[in-house]
């Protein structure tokens, strides 16, 4: 497959800028991933099933997720419901995955990661993109299952 981290980076930036008008700054994905802690992270997984099997993993700080939800619902961060935060970042991950699908080999569908049985086998990260928004991290990985 000839899919690159640059491709992933372009798609994530386009989705976030067109949907919620976020100007994401590119950054070192490994460094940004280290900055994400379990206590301050919202992580979403979206599965690809078909000719390409794998998942998109999107991780961001609480600040990024809260600010994204506020932008999506045109409100201030203090007025955002907890469920709206998860819904917003899940929707952003699904939109990213939907845009990626056309670049993946063959035909596949996008579904919730929990809908796919855990298959024994290896996984390989084939693309990673790291960003900051207001200094806070957002990291997206495309992982192929074998």
pLDDT, tens digit, for every residue of 61-70? 999 999 999 9
Angle formed at CA 72 by CA 68 and CA 76, multiple of 5 degrees? 75
Of residues 70, 72, 44, the one with CA closest to residue 138? 44
The reply to whether CATH 1.10.10.10 applies to domain 5-145 is no
User: Which of residues 73 and 3 earns the better pLDDT score?
Assistant: 73
Which pLDDT does position 105 carry in this prediction?
Answer: 87
pLDDT of residue 113: 76
Residues 117-132 pLDDT 10s = 666 579 999 999 999 9
Give yes or no for residue 3 having a pLDDT over 90. no
Q: Above 90 in pLDDT, residue 79?
A: no
The pLDDT of residue 1 is above 80? no
Q: Considering the chain, what percentage of its residues have pLDDT values greater than 70?
A: 96
Residue 26 sits at φ, ψ, to 5 deg, of -65, 145
Domain boundaries, the chain: 5-145
pTM above 0.85, yes or no: yes
pLDDT at 120: 59
């Amino acid at each position: 497959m000839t899919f690159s981290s640059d491709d992933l980076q372009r798609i994530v930036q386009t989705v976030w800028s067109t949907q919620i008008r976020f100007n994401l700054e590119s950054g070192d994905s490994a460094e940004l991933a280290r900055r994400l802690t379990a206590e301050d992270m919202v992580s979403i997984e979206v599965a690809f099933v078909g000719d390409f099997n794998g998942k998109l993993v999107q991780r961001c700080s609480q600040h990024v997720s809260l600010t994204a939800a506020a932008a999506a619902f045109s409100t201030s961060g203090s007025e955002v419901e907890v469920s709206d935060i998860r819904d917003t970042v899940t929707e952003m991950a699904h939109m990213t995955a939907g845009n990626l699908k056309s670049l993946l080999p063959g035909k596949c569908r996008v579904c919730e990661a929990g809908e796919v049985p855990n298959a024994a086998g290896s996984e390989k990260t084939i693309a990673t993109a790291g960003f900051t928004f207001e200094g806070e991290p957002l990291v997206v990985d495309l992982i192929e299952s074998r």
